[in-house]
């Protein structure tokens, strides 16, 4: 399990959910040149965790991930991709999970389903930061954005999950048009470069970057951004391919 967030009213045997399987979602947003992720803080603890959930018995795995994402952000039809499965035997810490349960006035019976071993399917989501309404789950008292470069300590193996999601994000920057989901509908090449540099964690040469992006055939020039004299106004662009959803 990955510190799963479920209703306190779910029975101790987890009736209605698939046993031993859970979901963790790394939700990326981009704001003011910072890459951010959404984190939960459990009630009456100092424990921070990724948003997550369980799979209902009659539910498809991807549908469960989309439901979890909507429950935490209020958004639908956004980019979501399964990227890795986390199943190390030592990823569970029963003392941590007992603390979460006790913080929510739940009795941590020795055979409670939340204390059993869980394999977690990792997803990452790309959202428009300005449209998200962070919503805590039943076991948490906050759901907030944190800068990727300044995260609080995360429970269990959630830091590893974040790192793996970031590696996948970096590897797919061009192929999956990551910026299409993190930038507004129209943007300048400077704004696109800022996004790439933030994700990659290093500066890029302006001329080489712009030449590369324009050569990919994925950008359409739409208008000038009138912020000053016409001769100084940068062009606005938008992506010409369709968004990809699960």
Do residue 167 and residue 212 come from a single domain?
no
Do residue 166 and residue 198 come from a single domain?
no
| Gap between the Cα atoms of 193 and 190, Å rounded | 5
8 band by pLDDT with thresholds 50, 70 and 90: very low
Strands (E) in 15-164, as ranges, are 17-31, 34-42, 48-49, 52-56, 79-86, 119-126, 140-147
Whole domain around residue 221: which residue ranges?
185-239
Asked if residue 230 has pLDDT above 70, the reply is no
> Tens digit of pLDDT for each residue in 67-117?
999 999 999 888 899 999 999 998 888 999 999 999 988 888 888 888 889
Do residue 160 and residue 189 come from a single domain?
no
SS3 214: helix
Copy the structure tokens of residue 223.
Answer: 């208008």
Asked if residue 11 has pLDDT above 80, the reply is no
Q: Indicate the DSSP class of residue 27.
A: E
Domain boundary among 171, 197, 227: 171
Residue 45, C-beta contacts closer than 8 angstroms, at least 6 positions apart: 99, 100, 103
SS3 164: helix
């Amino acid at each position: 399990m990955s510190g799963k967030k479920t209703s306190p009213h779910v029975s101790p045997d987890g009736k209605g959910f698939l046993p031993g399987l859970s979901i963790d979602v790394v939700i990326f947003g981009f704001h003011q040149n910072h890459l951010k992720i959404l984190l939960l803080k459990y009630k009456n603890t100092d424990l921070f965790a990724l948003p997550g959930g369980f799979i209902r018995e009659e539910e498809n795995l991807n549908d469960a991930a989309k439901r979890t994402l909507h429950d935490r952000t209020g958004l639908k039809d956004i980019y979501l991709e399964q990227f890795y499965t986390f199943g190390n035997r030592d990823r569970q810490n029963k003392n941590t999970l007992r603390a979460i349960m006790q913080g929510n006035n739940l009795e941590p019976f020795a055979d409670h389903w939340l204390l059993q071993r869980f394999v977690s399917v990792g997803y990452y989501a790309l959202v428009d930061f300005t449209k998200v309404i962070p919503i805590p789950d039943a076991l948490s008292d906050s759901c907030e954005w944190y800068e990727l470069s300044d995260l609080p300590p995360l429970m269990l193996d959630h830091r590893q999950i974040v790192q793996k999601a970031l590696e996948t994000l970096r590897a797919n920057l061009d192929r999956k048009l990551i910026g299409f989901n993190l930038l507004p509908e129209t943007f300048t090449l400077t704004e696109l470069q800022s996004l790439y540099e933030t994700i990659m964690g290093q500066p890029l040469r302006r001329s080489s970057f712009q030449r590369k992006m324009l050569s990919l055939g994925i950008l359409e020039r739409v208008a000038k951004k009138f912020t000053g004299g016409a001769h100084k106004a940068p062009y606005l662009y938008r992506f010409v391919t369709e968004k990809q959803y699960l």
